[in-house]
Each structure stands twice: as C-alpha cells, then as structure tokens.
Amino acid sequence: MYPLGMTRSLAVAAGLVALAAPASASAASLTVVPQKRCYSSGESVNLIGTGFSPLGSASVSRDGSLLSALTTDANGAFNGILTVGQTSGKRTKTYTAVDDAASTITASTQITVSAVRVDLSPANGAPGRRMSIKASGFATGKTLWAHITKGKSKRTIKIGSLSGACGRLKTRRRLLPRNAAVGVHTVQFDTFRRYDRRQPVSYRYAIDVTRG
C-alpha cells in the first residue's frame, strides 16, 4: 500500500493599475471587458470608464473601499486592469468610479467573483484509486484539466466539463497510477490544456507517495 498525504494552496491577488485607452461618451459609464456572469478569483479584466473629465482622474472603489485613482485621457476615458479576488464562496461586488474634479460625475458596475477551489477525497490511501473531485470557481474555461508533475515528469488528465456561470464540476477520476513513484507529486487544476505553473486561476495539491 502507498499512503498519501495531501496539502493544498491557493494564491489570490487583487489590484488595479492604469492603462491608456481612447474612448468617448456623452454620459459617464463603467463597464467590464470581457463581460461574463461570473469571474474566477485571480482573473484579470479591463475596467473601462467613459464620460469623465478630460485629462483628469477618477477614483475607483469596491463596495465603498478606495482602490485607486485612474488618469483619464483627452476624451475623459480610462482603462484599468483589475485583478479580482475572493477567498471563499461567491460574492457580487459593486465597483464605482467618481470624477475627482466633479463628484457628481459617477458610474458603477457589478462583478460576481467566485473563489477557486478543488476538494479531493478520500485524503489517504493507495495510489491508483479513483478519487472524488469537487471543483468550483473555474470561470475561465469549459473544461477542467489536471496537470501532474514530479521532477521533470509531467502528464495532463482531462477531468471533465464544467457547468454553470462560475464553473462547477463533480466527478471521480484516477489521478495517480498504482505504481506511482515515491515522492511528492504536484497536481495543478485549471481550465487550460497546456500546463503553465504560473497560471493565476488554478488550484494545487501536493500528494506525497511513501512506502509503508
């Protein structure tokens, strides 16, 4: 028998930086690109404002908490890159931009963000067994993949199709073969067939295979 121990980790980032983007509008507006019903924690989107004072700035807040002041161009537009974050569950957040020169010029939009999570069970046992996999928060694609690495060894397994706006899945799969090598195997779950360990929207497990 090969007992396994599993640990998990997830990094969540949230920030806002400014980019220049020309646009024009007769009234202030705040939109998100791409537009989706749900976003994954760690996902980056464009927060686009129009109709603000030209060559000025607008202060952007989330649910009343100030995030950043973004510079507007000659048309009174800004384009900020927003990295959304949510540590658990799902939450709808309100983002508001207020013109720093004229506080009556304001616009808001709402973004629903889901935490990214994968639960595996059972937590212990021999490699090669089928495991229950419950995933949520993967709104960046339609398919969940598992990338399993150990040293220079790497293989990718298709876990299954995701459902719902926030990307849910529940299934059973065999992640490791019965003859899995002793040592730590890292399993990264994400929605991309090609493995990238720096993928911001992902969930990782470290599975330690030992001889008992």
Give me the DSSP letters along 10-59. Answer: -----EEEEE------SS-EEEEES--S-EETT-EEEEEEESS-TTSEEE
Same domain, 108 and 143: no
Residue 22 — pLDDT band, cuts 50, 70, 90? very low
Pair 41, 12: CB distance under 8 Å: yes
Same domain, 136 and 120: yes
Tokens read off for 156: 């990718």
d(CA 97, CA 143): 35
Residue 2 — pLDDT band, cuts 50, 70, 90? very low
d(CA 41, CA 8): 16
Same domain, 68 and 133: no
> What 3-state class would DSSP assign to 85?
coil
Same domain, 34 and 47: yes
| pLDDT of 12 higher than 50 | no
Same domain, 195 and 126: yes
Among the candidates 114, 147, 181, a domain finishes at 114
Q: What is the mean pLDDT of residues 159-175?
A: 97
Same domain, 71 and 150: no
Tokens read off for 107: 């616009």
| pLDDT of 126 higher than 90 | no
Q: How far apart are the first and last CA of the chain?
A: 6
What total of structural domains would you count in the chain?
A: 2
Residue-wise pLDDT tens digits, 61-109:
999 999 999 999 999 999 999 999 999 999 999 999 999 999 999 999 9
- What CATH number does residue 138 fall under? 2.60.40
Q: Which residues contact 64 (CB under 8 A, 6 or more apart)?
A: none
The whole-angstrom distance between residue 7's C-alpha and the CA centroid of its chain comes to 20
What pLDDT sits at residue 201? 97
The pLDDT > 90 percentage for the chain reads 79
- What CATH number does residue 90 fall under? 2.60.40.1930
What pLDDT sits at residue 212? 65
What pLDDT sits at residue 123? 79
Same domain, 98 and 173: no
Residues across the chain: 212
Residue 125 — pLDDT band, cuts 50, 70, 90? confident
Same domain, 109 and 138: no
> Any idea which residue has 């202030």 for tokens?
28
| pLDDT of 211 higher than 90 | no
Among the candidates 96, 114, 132, a domain finishes at 114
Residue-wise pLDDT tens digits, 40-69:
999 999 999 999 999 999 999 999 999 999
Per-residue burial over 77-101, b if 16 or more Cβ lie within 10 Å, else e, is bbbbebbbbbeeeeeebebbbbbbe
- What DSSP character marks residue 165? T
If phi over 0 gives left and psi between -120 and 50 gives alpha, with beta otherwise, what is residue 57?
beta
Tokens read off for 36: 């989706």
Q: Which domain holds residue 171?
A: 4-11+116-209
Among the candidates 114, 137, 165, a domain finishes at 114
What pLDDT sits at residue 23? 40
Same domain, 71 and 142: no
H/E element, 78: strand 78-83
Same domain, 28 and 109: yes
Q: What is the mean pLDDT of residues 151-172?
A: 96
Give the pTM. Answer: 0.83
| pLDDT of 21 higher than 70 | no
Same domain, 105 and 120: no
